[in-house]
């Protein structure tokens, strides 16, 4: 009996554990300290009322023999796929319903997608990056190359100088908060088509886009033959605790004679039994006019927090990225401080908790992430404290 030895190659996940430990120690030493947490990547606003009403109604349907539904494959309804396809159509992207795979999270999908690709593929990942892409490929034993993302290019990755088969792109980006434009995405699509590579495009934060930027990789000509897109209701509609997401795999995407769509369909049919009916009804409601208006209100709230942080940091001389098309604000530490040194300073001197950039990869060293997911009141207070400390 053996284990998957690749697991031994994973780095211990110290980031959030270390943050938690430091905050606990500080609290114990300073009882009553008013600590403001702006490191969170989780949402804090309640669900849109339209989703709550739809889920209540769905629970009632489940309580009645005539309207009860069981396994998703058995009830054969495609109401959520319909709503998602209509949502894409608003941006000129046409999808067939069986190109849309509903799931319980973009985390699972970005992690599980590797099941259908060979372990000998070379994977390109940005640095800094959402750690799931890296860890899941270490588990699979794939070779990885790094695409360093630097301030000079607004943290957009440059095309690789060596071959890569699978490339993870995340726009708007976690952690840097920057979003790629049409020209940048077109270059990736052209490169992937030319090299027979697959782009794994994570659009979990597309709803935060406020500028004239692509919301979907499929707005880019040629993307349907080279890209898979992951999206989520988590950050869009406050579903982090409800769990609903979807992955788009166009039927035009082929590797040799194999349809990637058919492979994923087979994989999901074998290992996944779908998202609860109640959850799907809730998700559907967020895509109605009423639900969309409520979602937009919540997103505007987070984006306003992000603006307060962004402008507040800029006012005291920090170089800042993100916060315009994203809830994330990424900034460079001053005075040559490292990411963890700035973390300690902010915790000890102004009682504000953020996330050290180095936790997202080596290229994140010297940077720091704050998020717009806090309350407006606490966000203002945190910024005022930081300004007081760094303004003088």
Indicate the Cα dihedral angle 199, 202, 207, 212, nearest 10°: -30
Residues 6+ apart with CB under 8 A from 65: none
Tell me if 174 contacts ligand PLP by CB under 6 A: yes
Do the strands 198-202 and 227-232 form a parallel or antiparallel pair, or are they unpaired?
parallel
Selected range binding ligand PLP among 78-86, 212-220, 232-240, 257-265, rule: CB under 6 A: 232-240
Closest separation between CB of residue 88 and ligand PLP, Å? 18
Tell me if 234 contacts ligand PLP by CB under 6 A: yes
Selected range binding ligand PLP among 105-113, 186-194, 249-257, 299-307, rule: CB under 6 A: 105-113
Tell me if 170 contacts ligand PLP by CB under 6 A: yes
Asked whether 183 and 275 are in contact (CB, 8 A), the reply is no
Residues 123, 95: Cα–Cα separation, whole Å? 27
Site for ligand PLP (CB under 6 A): which residue of 41, 111, 131, 148?
A: 41
Residues 6+ apart with CB under 8 A from 24: none
Tell me if 370 contacts ligand PLP by CB under 6 A: no
Asked whether 130 and 174 are in contact (CB, 8 A), the reply is yes
DSSP 8-state secondary structure symbol assigned to residue 121: S
DSSP 222-289: TGGGTEEEEEESHHHHS-TTT--EEEE--TT-EETTEEHHHHHHHHHHHH-----HHHHHHHHHTTSH
Asked whether 156 and 120 are in contact (CB, 8 A), the reply is no
Tell me if 117 contacts ligand PLP by CB under 6 A: no
Nearer to ligand PLP, 99 or 104 (CB): 104
Tell me if 204 contacts ligand PLP by CB under 6 A: yes
Tell me if 302 contacts ligand PLP by CB under 6 A: no
Alpha-carbon Rg of the chain, whole angstroms?
21
Tell me if 160 contacts ligand PLP by CB under 6 A: no
**Which of 166, 181, 69 minimizes the C-alpha distance to 120?**
166
Residues 29, 33: Cα–Cα separation, whole Å? 9
Site for ligand PLP (CB under 6 A): which residue of 36, 43, 88, 107?
A: 107
Nearer to ligand PLP, 137 or 351 (CB): 137
Residue nearest to ligand PLP (CB): 105
Selected range binding ligand PLP among 101-109, 186-194, 210-218, 308-316, rule: CB under 6 A: 101-109
Tell me if 279 contacts ligand PLP by CB under 6 A: no
Tell me if 201 contacts ligand PLP by CB under 6 A: no
Residue 370: strand, helix, or coil:
strand
Indicate the Cα dihedral angle 309, 315, 321, 326, nearest 10°: 30
Residues 321, 308: Cα–Cα separation, whole Å? 13
Site for ligand PLP (CB under 6 A): which residue of 88, 130, 277, 368?
A: 130
Asked whether 207 and 235 are in contact (CB, 8 A), the reply is yes
Residues 327-366: x where in contact with ligand PLP by CB under 6 A, - otherwise, as a string: ----------------------------------------
Site for ligand PLP (CB under 6 A): which residue of 48, 72, 105, 322?
A: 105
Nearer to ligand PLP, 166 or 350 (CB): 166
Closest separation between CB of residue 387 and ligand PLP, Å? 28
Count of residues that interact with ligand PLP, criterion CB under 6 A: 13
Neighbour tally for 135: CB within 10 Å: 15
Tell me if 106 contacts ligand PLP by CB under 6 A: yes
Closest separation between CB of residue 337 and ligand PLP, Å? 25
Nearer to ligand PLP, 106 or 386 (CB): 106
β-sheet bridge partners, residue 322: 329
Selected range binding ligand PLP among 5-13, 14-22, 60-68, 103-111, rule: CB under 6 A: 103-111
Closest separation between CB of residue 40 and ligand PLP, Å? 10
| Alpha carbon distance, N-terminus to C-terminus of the chain | 63
């Amino acid at each position: 009996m053996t284990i998957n030895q690749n697991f031994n190659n994973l780095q211990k996940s110290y980031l959030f554990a270390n943050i938690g430990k430091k905050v606990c120690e500080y609290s114990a030493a300073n009882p009553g300290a008013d600590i403001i947490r702006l490191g969170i990547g989780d949402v804090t606003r309640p669900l849109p009322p339209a989703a709550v009403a739809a889920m209540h109604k769905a629970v009632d349907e489940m309580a009645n023999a005539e309207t009860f539904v069981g396994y998703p494959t058995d009830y054969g309804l495609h109401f959520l796929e319909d709503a998602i396809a209509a949502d894409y159509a608003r941006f000129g992207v046409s999808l067939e319903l069986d190109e849309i795979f509903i799931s319980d999270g973009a985390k699972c999908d970005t992690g599980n997608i590797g099941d259908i690709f060979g372990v000998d593929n070379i994977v390109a990942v940005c640095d800094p990056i959402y750690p799931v892409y890296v860890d899941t490929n270490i588990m699979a034993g794939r070779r990885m190359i790094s695409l360093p993302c630097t301030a000079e290019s607004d943290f957009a990755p440059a095309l690789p100088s060596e071959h890569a088969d699978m490339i993870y792109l995340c726009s708007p980006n976690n952690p840097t908060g920057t979003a790629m434009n049409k020209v940048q995405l077109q270059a990736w699509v052209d490169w992937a088509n030319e090299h027979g590579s697959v782009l794994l495009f994570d659009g979990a934060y597309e709803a935060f886009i406020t500028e004239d930027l692509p919301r979907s990789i499929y707005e880019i000509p040629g993307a349907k033959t080279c890209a898979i897109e992951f999206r989520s209701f988590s950050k869009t509609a406050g579903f982090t605790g409800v769990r609903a997401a979807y992955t788009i795999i166009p039927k035009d995407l082929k590797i040799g004679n194999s349809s990637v769509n058919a492979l994923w369909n087979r994989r999901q049919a074998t290992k996944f039994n779908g998202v609860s009916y109640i959850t799907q009804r809730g998700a559907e409601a967020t895509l109605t006019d009423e639900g969309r208006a409520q979602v937009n209100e919540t997103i505007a709230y987070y984006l306003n927090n992000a603006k307060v942080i962004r402008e507040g940091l800029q006012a005291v001389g920090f170089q800042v990225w993100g916060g315009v098309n994203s809830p994330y604000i990424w900034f460079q530490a001053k005075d040559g401080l490292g990411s963890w040194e700035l973390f300690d300073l902010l915790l000890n001197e102004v009682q504000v908790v953020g996330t050290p950039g180095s936790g997202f990869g080596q290229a994140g060293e010297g940077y720091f992430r704050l998020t717009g997911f806090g309350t407006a009141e606490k966000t203002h207070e945190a910024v005022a404290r930081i300004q007081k400390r760094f303004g003088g």
